[in-house]
Amino acid sequence: MFNTQKELFERIAIHYKSKNALCKTIAKAMNASEKTVEKWISADTELKFNRLYDIVNYLKLTPMDLFKDSQGLVYFQFMLMDMNDLDRYYSYISMLAVTFRRLADNKDGKILFMADEIPIFHFMPYKQLTYFKLYQYYCDMQKSEDSDEVKAELYYEDFTAELDKLDLAPQFEAIHDAYQQITSREIWDDTILDGLLYGLYELSSLCRFRDTKVIQPILAELKELIEQFRIKGNRGKKSGGVRIDVFKKRTPVRQGFMVWKCPGQDFLSIKLDTINSMLTFDPEMIRMFKSKFKADMDRSKAFGMGDIGERISFYDGLIEKIELAMQELG
């Protein structure tokens, strides 16, 4: 943590080859002489806040750049997801596809996933299921911050028609293909379907479907997802030939998160709501969540080996939940 103007510029200078290089950059950006900037850097001349603000903004410095030695301060990246702005979602999913591809291209890359809901990459081959997940988030976000009044909502069918215009299939396929080439360890639990199924029941009761017949294809895709994941998890191998280790937690997962293990640069994604998350490269946070994952993994049942009966019971239990929903929402 810095306490003086001089200490602030010493911290900024870390990101440059020399203080002289920093001085030239600031002088050019602020339309000031290098002698004036030298006095700012040495604190011989007091720098007004508006000038400091302009410098930090121009240099694109983050809180982590300035305060990374401060105990307890963690810097997160976050993209506000507004499903009323589908172009923003297109940017988000495209960026996610690129991230997965980069990890897949590194043979030492690995994912550790603590799943409070089915991880997004499992949805990608299933268009209707993915669309419903997005629609569920869209409906959740319709209430304004200062009112209980619900904004005008699209019906599910209208919302999916808007999604079709984006042509998301290439991004979905890219994410799924990359996932099949990334080694992963995933911890699931008995409640992993509950959020999505509750959403179907709720939105059906609120008449958010023009025709409730569209619910059956969603549930059919969910059932196929579980059946395919059962095969993959039992054999411990993905279609891309890399390992997948599946663990069943004995108690419900309280916080969903994913650790991306990349040689030279690990990062952590913490689940916020339905499809949204925030990202950090903070080593202490990553270390803590890795330890959390390891502790929960040690207390969970490994499904790639032994205890066939418990494995069958787990997957059959998930299928039974889906089939019950098919009957009740049919």
pLDDT band for 71, please (50, 70, 90 cuts): low
Backbone φ, ψ for residue 27 (5° rounding): -60, -45
Q: Rounded to whole angstroms, what are the CA distances from 133 to 87, 259, 275?
A: 17, 22, 8
Q: Please write the tens of the pLDDT for every residue from 173-186.
A: 999 999 999 999 99
Q: Please write the tens of the pLDDT for every residue from 161-209.
A: 999 999 999 999 999 999 999 999 999 999 999 999 999 999 999 999 9
Quick one: pLDDT at residue 1? Answer: 42
Q: 5-67: which CATH topology? A: 434 Repressor (Amino-terminal Domain) (1.10.260)
Q: Please write the tens of the pLDDT for every residue from 214-225.
A: 999 999 999 999
CA separation for the pair 220, 226 (Å, rounded): 10
**How many residues does this entry show for the chain?**
330
Q: Where are the domains of the chain?
A: 5-67, 77-329
Residue pair 303/315 in contact (Cβ under 8 Å)? The answer is no
DSSP structure class, residue 25: H
Q: Which residues pair with 269 in a beta bridge?
A: 258, 279
Task: Please give the average per-residue pLDDT across 72-96, as a whole number.
Answer: 82
CA separation for the pair 290, 46 (Å, rounded): 44
Specify the DSSP element, H or E, that contains 230. Answer: helix 215-235
Pick the more confident residue, 11 or 307.
11
Nearest to 120 by CA among 269, 295, 302: 269
Q: What is the pTM (predicted TM-score) of this model? A: 0.79
